[in-house]
A and B are shown apart, each in its own frame.
Chain A
Amino acid sequence: MADQPPRPLIELRDVSRRYSVDPEVYGVRGVHLVVDRGEWLSIVGPSGSGKSTLLNIVGCLDQQTAGSYRFNGVDVAALRDEERAGLRSRGIGFVFQSFHLLATRSVIENVMIAEAYRDGPRRGRRERARAVLEKVGLGHRADYLPPRLSGGERQRAAIARALLGSPQILLCDEPTGNLDSANTATCLELFDEIHRQGMTIVVITHDPGVAARARRQVRMIDGVLSEA
C-alpha cells in the first residue's frame, strides 16, 4: 500500500452531467480530469460552458449522471448523502463569487460556522477562527458585521471560512468576479500564499489574468474540457 504511487486527489473519468433526456441537455460531457495534491488549477471558459457544473460535481454538491468520480480514491457515487456531506465538511472548502456571508453574524462567527457540521470540539473554535482570520489579514475585522466590510474584505472572510479546519482542496467559483482590480490582486496574493503552503486550489474564472496565476489551466467550452 505504502509503496504505491500517491493517488491523485481528484480523478474524473468520462464524467457527464445530463439535465434532461428529451431534448438531451448536458452540463458537462465526457470530462476527464485529474488534479494532484498541491496543484493550482484554473478552469476558464465563457459563461454557460459548464464550469460551475463541473465544480459542483467536484465539490460533491451535484452528482454526475455518467462516468466515475473519485475523491482521494473514494468513489463518491457509492457514498450516502450524509457521507458526501461529511466529505464536504471535512475535505472541501468553497469560495463563492457572492461570498455567502450571513449578514447578521459577525465575521468571526461566519468563519466558525464551518466547524459546526464537523462535530469538532467547541472549545478553542473562536481561537482557531481568529488564527485563520489573522492569516488572511482580517484579524482586525473579526467582530464586524459583513455588510460593513469592503468587497475584498468580505471575500477574504469567506476564504478564511473555507480554510478553517484545513480542507484538502479549495474550490473557488469566480472568486474575483465581484472585486475591483486592487482587491483581485490581494485575493490572488492570498491564493499564492495558500498554494505555497501546499493547498490544492481549483479556480473557475473568465478573467485571463486570474487564470494565468494558476500553474495549470484547462478550458471548458460547451461542456467539453480541453487542456489549454
Chain B
Amino acid sequence: MKPQRLWHVGRERWGALRARRSRATRAAPSVPPSRISAADLADEALAGLFARPGRTTLTVIATVFGLAALVATLGLTRTASNRIIGRFDELAATQIIVSSKQAVQDAPTNEMPWDAPARLKRLNGVVAAGNLSKVDVRGALISTSPVSDPQGQTDLKLAVHAASPDLFTTIRAELGAGRLIDEGQSRRADRVVVLGVNAAARLGITDLDRLPAIRIGDELFLVTGIVTDVARKHEVLSAAIMPEGTARGLYGLKSPETVVIETRIGATKLISQQAALALRPDRPSGLKVAAPSEQPRVRDRVRSDLSLLFVLLGGVSLLVGAIGIANVTLVSVMERTGEIGLRRALGATRRQIALQFLLESSAMGFAGGVAGASLGTLVVVGVSAAQTWTPVLDPITPFVIPLVGAVTGLLAGSYPALRAARMEPVEALQAGT
C-alpha cells in the first residue's frame, strides 16, 4: 500500500516538473531538440572503431594483457589453494580417530564400547566408522608353513590387527582377491585373516586359489582376502587383520583400541565434539579425539601475499591500457575534427558527440575485457593442465572483467570526449576535411 502511494507522489512531481519545463519552452515557439537513438549512437561508435581496425586492436591489447593477468591471478590463486584443501580432503580433513586414554589407577575404565561404529553412525555427518585394534599375539611369529626352512627366513614378525567389518569401508580398502571380514565371522570367532598386500608379499602369498593358510604362533588361520590399497591407515597394508570376535576369543582383546571415523567435508569439528559423548556418555573425558588441525588457513595467507603482487601487476597493466585508450581516443578526436564539425552541422549536440567518443572508448575497454577474461581463463586451464591440478575460477569473474574493462575505457575516454564536445562547429569544419 505504502510504496504505491510513494510512486504516485513521485509521478505527480515528475508531471509537474515536465509541465514547468514545457511552459518554459513554450515562451519561444517550440522546436524539437536533436535526438539520436541508442541504436544509431552504437552504430556510429562502432563504425568509428572499425574505421581503423589495426589501431583499435593494438590499443585494446594492453587492456587485454592487464585483465588477463588479473583473471589468471585470481584463478590460479583459487586453483592452488583448492589443491591444498583437496589433498587434506583425502587424508585428514574428513578423518577423526578416537582412542581411549590410559586409565588412571582406581578410576573407572576408559574402555571403548564394541558397538562404537553403530553408535557413531547415528550422528549426522558421519559417513563411516570402524574399529581397529592392535592384537597382542605375545611375540608369536607368523609363517605359511609348519616346516622351518633352515636356509631362509620363514617365520616373520608381522603386525596383527583386529577390525570390525565396517572398518574396511572407512579406510576405503580395495580388495585384491577373496572377501573381507564379515559380521558372522566375528560372531563365530572364525579363524580367518585378511592380509594387507605388503604382508601377503612377505609371506609369499600371491593369490587365494590354493586356499592358503597362515600360522600365528601355533594357531592356524585361513587367508580369505588380500587388501591391495587403502586411503588411510596405511599400516594395515603390512598387517594381518582378523575379526574382532576372534581376537577377543583367542587373544583376550578387552575393547577396541581405536575407532576410525570418516565424516562429511566440514563436519569434523562438530563430530569431534560429539563423538566422545556418543561413545561414553558416562565418561567422555576418558577418550582422546584426534581431529585435523586448521592449517590450510595459514597457507592461504601466504599465498594471498603472493597473489597481491600479481593483482598489482595486473592493475598496472590495466592502467597502461587505460592510458593507451585515452591517448588513442585523443588522437582520434584530433584527427576527426572535420567529422565532428560535420556531425554538429548534421544536428549533433555537444552531448551526443561526447557520448559517441565515450562509447567508442568503453567499447574498446569492453572488448579488451572479453579478450582478457578469455585469455586469463585459458592461462588458468593451461597451467592447471600442465600441473595436473583442477582449474578453479570464480564463475562471476569472466562476466565482471568485461565490465571492469568497459568502465576503464569510459574513464580513459572522458577527457578526449570532453575535448571533442568543446569544439566549436565552425572551427571544426574549417580545420578538418
Contact = CB atoms under 8 A, between A and B. Distances in A.
B433 A98 contact: yes
Contacts of A122: 37, 39-40
Interface in B10-46: 25, 27-29, 31-37, 39-41, 43-44
B383 interface: no
B34 A88 contact: yes
Contacts of B47: 104-105, 109
Interface stretch (B257-265, B290-298, B344-352): B344-352
A90 B347 contact: yes
Contacts of A143: none
Nearest to A71: B31
B32 A56 contact: no
A116 to B, nearest CB: 4
Contacts of A74: 28-29, 31
Interface in B308-359: 338-339, 341-352
Contacts of A113: 44, 343, 346
Contact of B51 (A85, A89, A104): A104
A212 B164 CA distance: 117
Interface in A66-101: 73-75, 78-90, 94, 96, 98-100
Nearest to B432: A100
Contact of A119 (B36, B52, B342, B425): B36
Given A113-B44, A116-B346, A122-B40, A86 B429 contact: no
A114 interface: yes
Nearest to A83: B31
A126 interface: no
Nearest to B33: A82
A61 B29 contact: no
A151 B77 CA distance: 62
B270 interface: no
Contacts of B27: 78
B426 A117 contact: no
A116 B426 contact: no
Interface in A159-190: 161
B31 to A, nearest CB: 4
Interface band, chain A: 35 or more
Interface in B39-61: 39-41, 43-44, 47, 50-52
B352 A117 contact: yes
B32 A88 contact: no
B15 to A, nearest CB: 21
B429 A82 contact: no
Interface string A46-77: 00000000001001011000000000011100
B316 to A, nearest CB: 34
Given A113-B346, A114-B346, A86 B32 contact: yes
Contacts, number: 116
Contacts of B432: 100
A101 to B, nearest CB: 9
A89 B29 contact: no
Contacts of A78: 27-28
Given A86-B31, A86-B33, A62 B426 contact: yes
A116 B349 contact: no
A61 B348 CA distance: 11
B347 A100 contact: no
B347 A117 contact: yes
Contacts of A100: 338-339, 341-342, 345, 429, 432-433
B44 A79 contact: no
Contacts of B40: 116-117, 119, 122
Contacts of A61: 344-345, 425-426, 429
Contacts of A114: 346
Give the one of A73, A96, A99 with max B CB within 10 A: A96
Contact of A117 (B25, B28, B338, B346): B346
B347 A85 contact: yes
A102 interface: yes
Contacts of B338: 98, 100
A197 to B, nearest CB: 22
Contacts of A116: 36-37, 40-41, 43-44, 346
Contact of A80 (B33, B39, B429): B33
29 contacts: A56-B426, A61-B426, A74-B29, A78-B27, A80-B25, A80-B33, A81-B349, A82-B34, A82-B351, A85-B33, A86-B32, A86-B34, A86-B35, A88-B345, A89-B347, A90-B32, A90-B347, A96-B429, A100-B341, A100-B429, A100-B433, A113-B346, A116-B37, A116-B40, A117-B40, A117-B347, A117-B348, A118-B347, A119-B37
Given A89-B347, A116-B43, 5 more contacts: A56-B426, A83-B33, A99-B433, A117-B346, A161-B346
Interface of B: 25, 27-29, 31-37, 39-41, 43-44, 47, 50-52, 338-339, 341-352, 425-426, 429, 432-433
Question: What 9 A-B pairs come out closest when comparing CB atoms?
Answer: A89-B347, A119-B35, A82-B33, A85-B34, A117-B347, A104-B51, A78-B28, A86-B34, A116-B40
